[in-house]
Amino acid sequence: MKRPKAIVLRGTATNCDIETANSFRYTGAEPELVHINQLLAGEKKVLDYDLMAFPGGFSYGDDISAGKIYAVKMAKLAKDFERFIKDRRPVIGICNGFQILVKTGFLPENRGNAQVATLYTNDCGHFLAKWIKLKVNPKSPCIFTKGLPAEIELPMAHGEGKFIMEDKARLAALVKSELHALTYVENPNGSMLDIAGITNAAGTCFGLMPHPERNFFPWQNPDRPAARAAEAAGFQFFRNAVEYVR
């Protein structure tokens, strides 16, 4: 069977691209690292791929706010990205990638792709890097989290991870629709309603602050009993997306 093609998008100071590409490779896809400037120059086309990932890092130095400059660059290619998402091709934004999806308006999903949320400075006021426990919402349509245990562990590494929506009605609608795919067991950054990751209604566009590509092999987990598990949580995230395309 032909391996699905995955585009892993890069920018200046993206630093989790290789790990994310390898996660797709190990789960049966054929990843390609593509810089946003290659898309802008017409050297590569988003719609030539089956899956898409916005990996973590500090794109453009997190200047203005995390993910904002990358989102501005993406605006010039908005129609292609919109088409990709409307076609229900899987998209994952991890950490800085989640920040990008929020600041492009692709998440939370809304008409016109307006930015209706943000990821703000952690309540503690500084960068946090540690392993955290997460609740998986079994009612969420998210294809990436299907079949995961009720509780998982992933590492987080961010300074601007506090999920905020000023419009309480929009936030209530998001939760009512079960689009909060992941929530923190113990909220590390002050996110509203403990939200760690959200999806669109189709379940194919997903953003989260923790890093599934960093808990891809069981031995990466510092908890030795968890390290004896047959499959790590991160592996399941990427496998779900690849199998969905197949």
Model confidence, pTM: 0.96
Integer Cα distance of 169 and 146 in angstroms: 27
Q: What is the pLDDT of residue 160?
A: 98
Active site residue 205: no
Active site residue 95: yes
Active site residue 32: no
pLDDT band at 229 (very low <50, low <70, confident <90, very high): low
Supply the CATH classification number for the domain 5-245.
3.40.50.880
Q: What is the pLDDT of residue 220?
A: 87
pLDDT of residue 222 exceeding 90, the answer is: no
| Cα 166 versus chain centre, distance | 21
Integer Cα distance of 239 and 246 in angstroms: 11
Integer Cα distance of 230 and 232 in angstroms: 7
Catalytic residue from among 95, 153, 158, 180:
95
pLDDT digits (tens, 9 = 90+) for 95-145: 999 999 999 999 999 999 999 999 999 999 999 999 999 999 999 999 999
Beta strands in 61-203 (DSSP E): 91-94, 118-120, 128-136, 151-158, 162-164, 180-184, 195-199
Catalytic residue from among 109, 153, 160, 213:
213
